[in-house]
Amino acid sequence: MTVGIDDISIYIPRLFVDARDFAVARGMDPDKLQRGLGISKMAMVDTNQDPACMAANACLRIMQKSHLSPKDIGRLYVATESSLDESKAMNSYVIGMLEQIYGDDSFEHCGGIECKFACVSGSYALYDNSNWIRAGESGGKSAIVVVSDIAKYDLGSSGEYTQGAGAVAMLVNDNPRLLEFDPKVTSTSIKNEYDFYRPFGKETPIVHGQYSNLLYLLQVKKALMLYKEKALSTGLIKLKAGETILDYIDFLSMHLPYSNMGKKALAYLLRHEWRKLPRWKKIIEKIGMEEPIPKDPRGTIESVLADSEFMTKDHEFTKKFSKTEEFQEVYDTKLASSLIASQMIGNLYTASLYLGFRSCLEFEFQKGTDLAGKRFGFGSYGSGSSAMVFSGAIKPTYKEIVKDMNLESEIGNRVKLSLEEYEEIHENKRGPKENFLDSKEEFVLIDVENIAESKGERRYVFTG
Ligand code: CAA
């Protein structure tokens, strides 16, 4: 049975912090953010926005765009790591908001939960909902999977310049116009880790930045190895001598905590795949140095990071490798378009991977690339930690969806925050009603109850 993504919509808040202003205010070289990490703007929520209303706005857009009514939807899942409640699931808030438009109880048949596993949970939600359809349980209905997050780090921390906010809604069904998932190849890896986590009651995460970078690469590589086994054993991909599985993936979408992480991941995965192939010899000759090996090749992530001689040499090797025409060709043709939206918007945690997918569709379409039948590989990573690798093929009908994509007009008129305004929002110095922007035709938060018997109840309205 065919199952996949039929349609996709986004909601990105219009407020943003400019990376150059930010760098200057923090006494940093702006090039570190723009060239080093690939960040030019970070989307910020207004005081009357939260992950639930962003999710509802993305859902409403997909419902309206695809002319859906609530009876067409059998499940609504929200994946987030910006949870609002320890018990009440975010999809219930979203349904409450959607029912303001579609009528009381219009979604009462629609099951779903909130999913959590840092940034990878949206991928698990997509997989589980696809399997709900494959199992014949959907009764002809579609599922909506929404990924919505506010990436927020402590002021002055090294994570602060990798913030962002937004939501992506995806319609999943058995006759998808956009992308059909490849069956029986989805692969995962998992390990109990503390690279990035947010204990109860804490608004910002505890982050071990360089550790999290390396762990991301290792986990995605492990999931890719399993994917490879499955793709070969199911016959999805047949390798000839000297080939790698990545030769058969036309486009790559990676989890993007910042846009250059995609490039880092591509270099890491290509090195891993190519070093056993005849083509590597020529590349090593071009680079002019052998691939460095850590002092303790079987060591821990900590021991590798502490091996400063190896880290310096490995960094040098990666930089040289990334400049080879072999790498550049893969980068330009398979990855670069997926990184554009992240540069403009920042980190969306669960939604980053899917914003990257959307970015690739929009910008490849603009270039005139024929995407029909092309295979997309997805590298999803969530701290804590788990990775998921899966793939799908673009359907011949994809233009129906992609032709109308326009990131700038879908975000709307963006408004730059001063550093003072940004810090006021960040430190929660303004209440929901002290918003910066007027909203039109979208859900906003108007109140959060503070009295004991209804503490935490949130009220939303749809602005006219
Ligand atoms: N001009 C140009 N480039 C510069 C520069 C300058 N003046 N100064 C530094 N750079 C480059 C560096 O060379 C480096 O690039 P390469 O790695 O390609 O060489 C890049 O800028 C970043 O420099 P640092 O590594 O020194 O940056 P940092 O110490 O500030 O840390 C970070 C970066 C670890 C990502 C940090 O921002 C962080 O902790 N972020 C939050 C955690 C995170 O995003 N982890 C990613 C993996 S975990 C995950 O993916 C889950 C998730 O969503 C959080």
pLDDT digits (tens, 9 = 90+) for 180-193: 999 999 999 999 99
User: Helix, strand, or coil here: 430?
Assistant: coil
Cβ atoms 250, 283 nearer than 8 A:
no
* β-bridge mates for residue 415, sequence order: 15
Query: For 205-224, what is the mean pLDDT?
Result: 98
Measure the CA–CA gap between 345 and 336, rounded to whole angstroms: 15
Measure the CA–CA gap between 207 and 305, rounded to whole angstroms: 15
User: What's phi and psi for 443, nearest 5 deg?
Assistant: -80, 135
- One-letter amino acid at 44 equals M
Distance set, CA 413 to CA 8, 41, 348, 402, 433 (Å): 21, 14, 19, 21, 21
Residues in the chain: 464
Measure the CA–CA gap between 21 and 163, rounded to whole angstroms: 14
Q: Is the Cβ atom of 35 under 6 angstroms away from ligand 1?
A: yes
Q: Is the Cβ atom of 210 under 6 angstroms away from ligand 1?
A: yes
Å from CA of 1 to ligand 1 middle: 42
Å from CA of 29 to ligand 1 middle: 13
Å from CA of 405 to ligand 1 middle: 30
Å from CA of 320 to ligand 1 middle: 18
User: What's phi and psi for 274, nearest 5 deg?
Assistant: -85, -20
Q: Is the Cβ atom of 37 under 6 angstroms away from ligand 1?
A: yes
Instruction: Give me 357's structure tokens.
Output: 């997918």
Å from CA of 37 to ligand 1 middle: 6
Q: How far from each other are the two terminal CA atoms of the chain, in whole angstroms? A: 42
Identify the pLDDT of residue 286. Answer: 96
Å from CA of 157 to ligand 1 middle: 12
Q: Is the Cβ atom of 383 under 6 angstroms away from ligand 1?
A: yes
Å from CA of 257 to ligand 1 middle: 10
Å from CA of 338 to ligand 1 middle: 19
Q: Is the Cβ atom of 213 under 6 angstroms away from ligand 1?
A: yes
pLDDT at residue 1 above 90? Answer: no
Identify the pLDDT of residue 119. Answer: 98
Å from CA of 241 to ligand 1 middle: 37
Å from CA of 31 to ligand 1 middle: 12
Å from CA of 187 to ligand 1 middle: 27
Residues 6+ apart with CB under 8 A from 160: 26, 153, 154
Mean pLDDT across the chain: 97
Q: Which residue's CA is the nearest one to ligand 1's atom 34?
A: 209
Instruction: Give me 447's structure tokens.
Output: 């109140």
DSSP conformational letter for 381 = E
Task: Report the percent of the chain where pLDDT is more than 70.
Answer: 100
Q: Is the Cβ atom of 268 under 6 angstroms away from ligand 1?
A: no
pLDDT digits (tens, 9 = 90+) for 274-284: 999 999 999 99
Q: Which residue's CA is the nearest one to ligand 1's atom 29?
A: 158
pLDDT digits (tens, 9 = 90+) for 118-171: 999 999 999 999 999 999 999 999 999 999 999 999 999 999 999 999 999 999
**Ligand 1 atom, smallest distance to 352 CA:** 53
Query: For 263-281, what is the mean pLDDT?
Result: 97
Task: Decide: residue 130, CB within 10 A, 0-12 exposed, 13-18 middle, 19+ buried.
Answer: buried
pLDDT digits (tens, 9 = 90+) for 77-130: 999 999 999 999 999 999 999 999 999 999 999 999 999 999 999 999 999 999
Identify the pLDDT of residue 183. Answer: 97
Distance set, CA 268 to CA 53, 295, 350, 383 (Å): 37, 19, 22, 18
Cα–Cα nearest to 328, from 266, 413, 410? 266
Cβ atoms 7, 357 nearer than 8 A:
no
Distance set, CA 425 to CA 46, 186, 430, 435 (Å): 7, 39, 6, 9
Q: What share of the chain is helix, strand, coil (3-state, %, to 5)?
A: 45, 20, 35
3-state secondary structure 103-160: CCCCCCCCECCEECECECHHHHHHHHHHHHHHCCCCCCCEEEEEEEEEECCCCCCCCH
Q: Is the Cβ atom of 384 under 6 angstroms away from ligand 1?
A: no
pTM over 0.75: yes
Instruction: Give me 384's structure tokens.
Output: 């804590």
Identify the pLDDT of residue 248. Answer: 98
Instruction: Give me 18's structure tokens.
Output: 């400019």
Measure the CA–CA gap between 168 and 177, rounded to whole angstroms: 17
Tell me which of 213, 316, 322, 323 to substitute to probe ligand 1's pocket, judged by most ligand atoms within 8 Å of the beta carbon: 213
Query: For 367-391, what is the mean pLDDT?
Result: 98
Tell me which of 22, 37, 204, 316 to substitute to probe ligand 1's pocket, judged by most ligand atoms within 8 Å of the beta carbon: 37
Å from CA of 293 to ligand 1 middle: 22
Identify the pLDDT of residue 464. Answer: 84
Query: For 427-441, what is the mean pLDDT?
Result: 96
Do strands 187-190 and 375-382 pair parallel, antiparallel, or not at all (unpaired)?
A: unpaired
User: What's phi and psi for 390, nearest 5 deg?
Assistant: -150, 175
Cα–Cα nearest to 12, from 63, 77, 57? 57
Q: Which residue's CA is the nearest one to ligand 1's atom 44?
A: 257
Do strands 4-11 and 114-115 pair parallel, antiparallel, or not at all (unpaired)?
A: unpaired
Tell me which of 31, 212, 350 to substitute to probe ligand 1's pocket, judged by most ligand atoms within 8 Å of the beta carbon: 212
DSSP conformational letter for 119 = B
Q: Is the Cβ atom of 163 under 6 angstroms away from ligand 1?
A: no
DSSP conformational letter for 174 = S
Cβ atoms 189, 22 nearer than 8 A:
no
Å from CA of 274 to ligand 1 middle: 25
Q: Is the Cβ atom of 29 under 6 angstroms away from ligand 1?
A: yes
pLDDT digits (tens, 9 = 90+) for 322-355: 999 999 999 999 999 999 999 999 999 999 999 9
Q: Which residue's CA is the nearest one to ligand 1's atom 3?
A: 36
Q: Which residue's CA is the nearest one to ligand 1's atom 40?
A: 159
Identify the pLDDT of residue 423. Answer: 98
